[in-house]
Structure 1
Amino acid sequence: MHTNELRNCKATTPMKTEKQGLQQLLKIATPFLLFTTVYTVFVLGLEEYFGDHIYKISGQIGSVFGLAVAFFLGFRMNSAYDRWWEARKIFGELTNNTRSFVVKIYAYYGNADNFKETARANINIKAQKLIGLSISYIRQLKNEMHNNFKPTFDQPAIELLNEFSINVDNKISNELLAALTKSIEDDFSSQANIEKGDLMQHINRFYDIQGKAERIKNTPFLMIYSAFTKIIVSFYVILIPLFVGDIDLGGEDSGFEFLAVPIMVIISTAFLTINKLANLYGEPFSENKTSVTIDEICKTIEQNCNEIKAKLE
């Protein structure tokens, strides 16, 4: 129904294996790894050049400070994952509700006794069009989650939207649900109130699902706390060389002081990467590797709808 927006949408390949997860983790962590390595070598070189332990702070202070930062990051990561998982549950609910909705359209529109006499002509064609509207709704909801509120429509889609009086200047997802509601209300007879009420419940669930998705999409993820955490983590990473210093095992000529470099790099990279992951998972509808794979989910829903639609041809 939608042409160019489907082809040009920035699709992301979901991570389905541990190897893919490791590759993405390395991609995220590598800039931090390089930065902290350069910074650590620079600071350690200054210490070695100007004198041993000229700026080392008590390691106990660093331990306490690091524990506090770890608590901050732990809370932030848990909150981000809860937000991501809620988004995934919303689109799982969308999958179930859409499948059930189109199957019931197929079943209820197969019985002419459910409809008014004026609506009994071409019932199968009408059912196909309602399933087509459902597919358009799924696509549009996906578009809105990707901030594409006014997608490009092909000619068949335009004809369907015109037939059901869809105003594309308004919020298109709401217009599609309103068209589905009005069509069902106009077609079913008073003897089929159970069937009509059943379909209306699915429409209501579509509204609930859309509202939940928009709540996550439109509500920034703890931006003040995010800024505070970023400042604290960055400050701690800068101070790590002062807490660790060099390592004098075996004396100054042993070369063991260079062990401080990988230790400081690993600690710094770990804290910065966790903070970055929390930022990514806190935006579950963004188009990156860590976001909820709504493109793939909606593609599956559309395929299921088309399978039911084909039964009406």
Structure 2
Amino acid sequence: MYVKRYYSFWMTVRWSKYSLIYGLLYSFIIVVLYELTSIPFSLPWQPISVIGIAVAFFLGFKNNSSYDRTWEARKIWGAIVNDSRTFATGILSLPSSNMPFERKKRIIYRHLAWLLALKHVMRNEKSWEHNLPVHKLNFIPNFIKEYSDGMFAEIEKYLSQEEIASVKELTNIPSQLLKNQSQEIAKLYEQQFITDYKQVRLHELIGKLYTNQGMSERIKNFPFPRQYASTGLWITYIFCALIPFGLLDIFAQSTALHYWLTIPFSAIIIWTFFVVDRIGDYSENPFEGGYNDVPISSIARAVEIDLLEMLEVENVPAPYQTENGFLM
């Protein structure tokens, strides 16, 4: 996630430079052919503008829908933060005279393992994403190690070797860790460490964590419908291909610059529409680790710090710092 007030103009140009370059080259070719052949293949601007309005409406719908996915993802992980703190506080508030502190610590550690495992699952690549593995991101170099080392390098410090071995080959490790947590709560009740009310309340919190995980998986595993994503791209191509033909006669009225104003103005219009399409395209998948995604690594680290400080342990990890204006 980019955290400065604005992207600089040149950062925006670098991010979308190919549409600008191709727009310039395409417009240049059209103008050269128009000049050399003297064939009047210009088009009236009115029908092109109607197509442009339709494209603008469609891109607006696409971008709004993409933004909704990103904002929902942020709300889900905000709920995970709140429920994590509530769950840890609920465990620590159990009477110390009845329940050993080490057992409380083990339960909270298992929760941290669940959180970090879920973070890694959300970073897994999907075929509809941009096929940009996290280790290829060069704007935040210090984040790369946690992903190159893998999930178990992070969660093994919070789980026993027996529990790691029991979940290592399972398909959905976060779900299994929540199941283990639920079973632990049941044991606490059987051993009379907690009351009926506490058992119900803790199970409700685990249910909320399951709900948060499921909503996060829904966004991760179900893509923005490809018919909308694909149609938006193709109609943008069609509209942008027509732009130079519609501007030829407009700028023919200028005897000084003649048709050559068609080139920069066509390129700017083409660039604008493709930038808008690209913004929506890169907002569809808020967990893939891109420039504008939800910073789940930083969110998970913040929760990790909070819970470890509640436990008063030493060597609490430092929060992730912003690098080059980005937070991941």
Gaps of 5+ in 1: 1-13, 114-119
Matched, 1:178 2:179: yes
The equivalent of 1:145 in structure 2 is: 122
Alpha-carbon separation, structure 1, partners of 2:120 and 2:287: 10
- Identify the match of residue 134 of structure 1 among 111, 120, 144: 111
- Against the structure 1 CA distance between its residues 134 and 158, is the aligned structure 2 distance closer, same or farther, given a 3 Å change threshold? closer
Contact 2:92 2:104 (8 Å CA) reproduced:
yes
Give the alignment partner of residue 14 of structure 2, picking from 27, 32, 39.
Answer: 27
Alignment of 1:184-195 (within 5 A): 184-188=185-189, 189=192, 192-195=195-198
In the alignment, does 2:91 pair up with 1:105?
A: yes
Q: Tell me what 1:276 maps to.
A: 278
How far apart are the structure 2 equivalents of 1:15 and 1:179? 37
Residue 248 of structure 1 deviates from its aligned partner by 2.6
1:175 CA drift (Å): 1.4
Aligned partners of 1:261 and 1:155: how far apart in 2?
Answer: 56
8 A Cα contact 2:113 2:159, kept in partner:
no
Report the structure number with the largest CA radius of gyration: 1
Q: Give the letter for the 1:129 counterpart.
A: R
CA distance in 1, matches of 2:158, 2:90: 26
Aligned to 1:43: 30
2: distance between equivalents of 1:265 and 1:159?
56
**8 A contact 1:166–1:176 mirrored in 2:** no
Residue of structure 1 in register with 2:132 after alignment: none
Cα separation, 1, equivalents of 2:246 and 2:186: 71
The residue number in structure 1 matching 2:320 is none
Structure 2 partner of 1:56: 42
Single out whichever of 147-156 and 82-91 deviates more from structure 2. 147-156
Distance in 2 of aligned mates of 1:263 and 1:22 = 18
Shift of 1:214: 0.7
> Are positions 1:201 and 2:204 aligned together?
yes
Q: Which amino acid aligns with 1:67?
A: I
* Structure 1 consecutive aligned stretches of length 4 or more whose deviation exceeds 4 Å: 21-24
* CA distance in 2: counterparts of 1:72 and 1:154, whole angstroms: 43
Q: Secondary structure at the match of 1:16?
A: coil
- Could you tell me how far 1:311 is from its partner in structure 2? 6.5
Structure with greater helix percent = 1
Aligned-partner residue type, residue 208 of structure 1: T
Q: State the AA in 2 paired with 1:266.
A: I
Structure 1 280/256 Cα, relative in aligned 2: closer, same or farther at 3 Å? Answer: same
Secondary structure of the equivalent of 2:160? helix
Name the CA distance, whole Å, in 1 between partners of 2:40 and 2:166: 73
What residue is the counterpart of 1:169 in the other structure? 169
Which segment is superposed worse, 165-174 or 270-279? 165-174
Q: State, as a whole percentage, how many aligned pairs show the same letter.
A: 25
Cα distance in 2 for residues equivalent to 1:164 and 1:282: 33
Q: For residue 160 of structure 1, what is the aligned residue in structure 2?
A: 160
Distance 1:100 1:28, change over 3 A: same
Partner of 1:291: 293
The two structures have a TM-score, normalised by structure 2, of 0.81
Q: How do 1:62-101 residues align onto structure 2 when only pairs under 5 Å count? A: 62-101=48-87
**Cα distance between partner residues in 2 of 1:255 and 1:191:** 84
- Take 2:25 and 2:55, find their aligned partners in 1: how far apart are those partners? 23
Instruction: Choose from 213, 219, 223 the match for 2:222.
Output: 219
